[in-house]
Amino acid sequence: MDEQEEEREVVMAIYDGDPAFHQLTPVTYQYKYGEDGDPKSFLIELSWTENYPNEAPSFNMDTFYNKHVSDSVKKKISGYLKQEAENLKGFAMTYSLFEGVKEKLDDFLADAEATETVAVTDVAEEKDEERWFRLISEEANL
């Protein structure tokens, strides 16, 4: 049994019954963090290369599920995954990468909260400006 087959069996056994885990193909796995509908939830897709684990897997966060996730949060998570994968080259790492993100979830989502706050503030300011222009227009028409 080669390293990938062995890791596949271990990963499938560990995540058996975990609704957040999904195997798309024998070499592509997804893990969802957070609950559906939660603006802080996101999905990581990890694909083993032909030379995995001697080569880092590829990561994808540009999925439809992540359409609400800011680019800065995606970059922070992707950067973490790439760095950890470099450190773990030569070893089975799928479980370690998925679990490492769980451990750093608060750090990643702190950026999401800051971004959401700015976005909400921007929307509120835009609405205030719209109201102001509407009032001026209404006064001009009187």
Q: What percent of the chain has pLDDT over 90?
A: 70
Tell me the per-residue pLDDT of 87-142, one tens digit each, with 9 for 90 and over: 999 999 999 999 999 999 999 888 565 555 444 445 555 566 666 556 556 666 66
Q: What percent of the chain has pLDDT over 70?
A: 77
- What is each CA distance from 47 to 28, 57, 61, 132, in whole angstroms? 4, 5, 12, 51
> For residue 55, what is the domain's CATH number?
3.10.110.10
What's the CA gap between 95 and 116, in Å, rounded? 30
Average per-residue pLDDT in the chain? 87
Q: Into how many domains does the chain fold?
A: 1
Predicted confidence at residue 118, as pLDDT, reads 46
Q: Which amino acid is at 12?
A: M
Predicted confidence at residue 117, as pLDDT, reads 47
Range of the domain at 32: 3-141
Say what the pTM is: 0.77
Q: Is 85 exposed, middle or buried (0-12, 13-18, 19+ CB in 10 A)?
A: buried
Tell me the per-residue pLDDT of 58-72, one tens digit each, with 9 for 90 and over: 999 999 999 999 999
> What token pair was written down for 119?
């976005």
Over residues 23-44, mean pLDDT: 95
